Amino acid sequence: MSPKRGKPVVAIVGMGLIGGSLGLAIRKARIAREVVGICRRPSSIAPAIRMGACDRGTIRLKQGIDGADLIFLCTPPQEIMRLARVIARQAEPGVVVTDVGSTKSLIVRNIESGTPDSFLFVGGHPLAGSEQAGLKASRPGLFRGATWILTRSRRTSPKAIASLAKFLSKLRVSIAVMSPQEHDEILALTSHLPHAVAGTLAGSLKSSHLRFAAGGFKDVTRIASSDPNLWGEIFLSNRHEVADALSRFRLNLGQVERWIRRGEGRSLVRFLVRARALREKIHGIGQPSRHD
Amino acid sequence: MSPKRGKPVVAIVGMGLIGGSLGLAIRKARIAREVVGICRRPSSIAPAIRMGACDRGTIRLKQGIDGADLIFLCTPPQEIMRLARVIARQAEPGVVVTDVGSTKSLIVRNIESGTPDSFLFVGGHPLAGSEQAGLKASRPGLFRGATWILTRSRRTSPKAIASLAKFLSKLRVSIAVMSPQEHDEILALTSHLPHAVAGTLAGSLKSSHLRFAAGGFKDVTRIASSDPNLWGEIFLSNRHEVADALSRFRLNLGQVERWIRRGEGRSLVRFLVRARALREKIHGIGQPSRHD
């Protein structure tokens, strides 16, 4: 990423919720010379330009990345891995390629094994999203104040990380750099586990009980309204960590179940007090959630 | 509940989130001759009157219920049971007493065994709330559109249920009548289980991961910010149903874990599709949640 004239040309592959919001944020911050949106459907190009998510759009990958200094892959994991290999054969030297996939070990390993060492790939993951999908749900503030993880493997170019971090920090995100494996261990607990739990809760509901599901149930299961295909892919691309997190969670849940069954109120309340205290330390609690 | 002059005099014991919101709603709908708030602390009386949650307030139970046609017990379960016995010795004949406790079998059984058959108690539970507590969080619209469950036991007076249902329906709630046992089975699944799950998720978080807990985690665990003592009481007062619901939920979670560990994407996605479809049938999904 060494733009010839000041600001970089940015290409975004996949103009869904994340890609669209990224384009909006970059254009609003005026930190790119040009934002090119690469869409899957021709019909998405005009709306993407109209809402300000890109300066120009195309459905042709080669045309879209031509002249780009920085390329964001904003598609589900399988497609990220396929695209990176294609781009590695087409992109000019020095172009930095990053992604926004919710898992990192598999993606980074797969891309590094299928591309030359000179290909500058940096795994990325903005911790922001919504159960809503698609360009329509995009908004420029989606990432504001969020943590954006970048991964460092043995092959990752320190210069590529540094320039990408510098670029992203202008979007007012907080950058965290860690290994792909560390990312996957943490996200299994903070994101993939809650999604699996929310889905299982929603899936356990009987139709006849729908009327009696109030605000608490709706909130706990909100993320169960996320795209099932995307989340199926995410779970499987971090399967060991997610399965282990589920296994430990089931043990914790078993402990709570025993306290309740045996009427051990004191242990139960102590646990609930600690849970509440932990939750209230999460950054931004007390502020409206991003989907409101 | 046979008011001498048209509209009933209503007494609300416990001016927290539910009692305060109920007073606000009843006064806004102008369906009571007078709303009397019975507070635990003398310092709560002036704020309750100032915000419009009651016409007058007192900390003396006897004084507060004197002349009331309808009494709402809006305290945690243990206190509801104690209060009902006291009121049964003091209230005039014909007064209808109801509660808003989140569990019903224990409360109804306990009150019916400790009061004479002539005491007109109807178990009640409005399916509305917030993780915020206290009079300050009260608002007149808390119950609008919500389902309000009334329970019918062998002893419950049909006339008392009918007059209470008629009164509540003026608050634009939807009334459902069922047995205390049926209430507890349903609420174990739609409310108590999600609370236990949210608490366990929040309690499983490591401090070092707080920074990486994004919107999804915050939503799933929102109700883990509820009052631990109140929820400890609720879990234990419906302990068998809640423990059984947890046990079945752990089995379902184990199935999801196996699909993920074995990479059975098709079963996983089919399950997530069904979960999403079920969730989106819940009344009011797509509208902002009540705490916003």
Q: What is the ipTM of this complex?
A: 0.86
Query: Residue A2: its pLDDT value, please?
Result: 67
What distance in Å separates the CA atoms of residue A274 and residue B176, rounded to the nearest whole number? 36
Query: Residue A5: its pLDDT value, please?
Result: 61
> How many helices, marked H, and strands, marked E, lie in chain A?
12, 9
Q: Which of residues 189-248 of A touch B (CB under 8 A)?
A: 189-191, 193-207, 209-226, 228-229, 231-233, 235-236, 239-240, 242-243, 246-248
| Chain B touched by A287 (CB under 8 Å) | no
- Using 50 as the pLDDT threshold, list the residues of chain B that sit under it: 286-292
Which chain B residues contact residue A230 at CB under 8 A?
none
Q: Which of residues 258-277 of B touch A (CB under 8 A)?
A: 260-261, 263, 265, 268-269, 271-276
Contacts for A29 with CB less than 8 Å, ≥ 6 apart = A170, A171
Q: What are the tokens at B251?
A: 């089995």
Query: Residue A133: its pLDDT value, please?
Result: 83
Asked whether the beta carbons of residue A195 and residue B216 sit closer than 8 angstroms, the reply is yes
- Over residues A130-140, the mean pLDDT reads 89
Confidence of residue A290 (pLDDT cuts 50, 70, 90): very low
Residue B269: which of A228, A243, A276 has the nearest Cβ? A228
**Would you say residue A252 has pLDDT above 70?**
yes
Bridge-based pairing state of the strands A147-151 and A124-126: antiparallel
Q: Which of residues 61-100 of B touch A (CB under 8 A)?
A: none
Amino acid symbol at A276: R
Asked whether the beta carbons of residue B213 and residue A190 sit closer than 8 angstroms, the reply is yes
Report the 3 state secondary structure along B83-105.
HHHHHHHHCCCCCEEEECCCCCH
Query: Coil, strand or helix: which one is B241?
Result: helix
Residue A219: which of B248, B263, B289 has the nearest Cβ? B289
Query: Residue B98: its pLDDT value, please?
Result: 98
Task: Give the number of other CB atoms < 10 A from CB of residue A30.
Answer: 9
Query: Domain locations in chain A?
Result: 9-178, 184-279
**Would you say residue A242 has pLDDT above 90?**
yes
Query: Residue A284: its pLDDT value, please?
Result: 63
Nearest to B1 by CA among B57, B71, B62, B66: B71
CATH class for the region spanning A184-279: mainly alpha
Query: Coil, strand or helix: which one is A219?
Result: helix
Global pTM value: 0.86
Task: Assign domain B9-178 to its CATH architecture.
Answer: 3-Layer(aba) Sandwich (3.40)
Q: List C-alpha distances in Å: A272 to A59, A197, A217, A251, B232.
A: 51, 18, 18, 16, 8
Burial of A258 (0-12, 13-18, 19+ CB in 10 A): middle
| Chain A touched by B287 (CB under 8 Å) | no
**Would you say residue A285 has pLDDT above 60?**
no
What is the share, in percent, of chain A residues with pLDDT greater than 70? 95
B238, B187 Cβ separation under 8 angstroms? yes
Task: Give the number of other CB atoms < 10 A from CB of residue B170.
Answer: 13
Best of A175, A190, A231 to mutate (most B CBs within 10 Å, chain B):
A190
Bridge-based pairing state of the strands B147-151 and B124-126: antiparallel
Residue A250: which of B198, B250, B268 has the nearest Cβ? B250
| Chain B touched by A280 (CB under 8 Å) | yes
Query: Residue B292: its pLDDT value, please?
Result: 28
User: Residues A205-234: pLDDT tens digits?
Assistant: 888 898 898 878 988 999 999 999 999 999
User: Residues B50-102: pLDDT tens digits?
Assistant: 999 999 999 999 999 999 999 999 999 999 999 999 999 998 899 999 999 99
Asked whether the beta carbons of residue B203 and residue A274 sit closer than 8 angstroms, the reply is yes
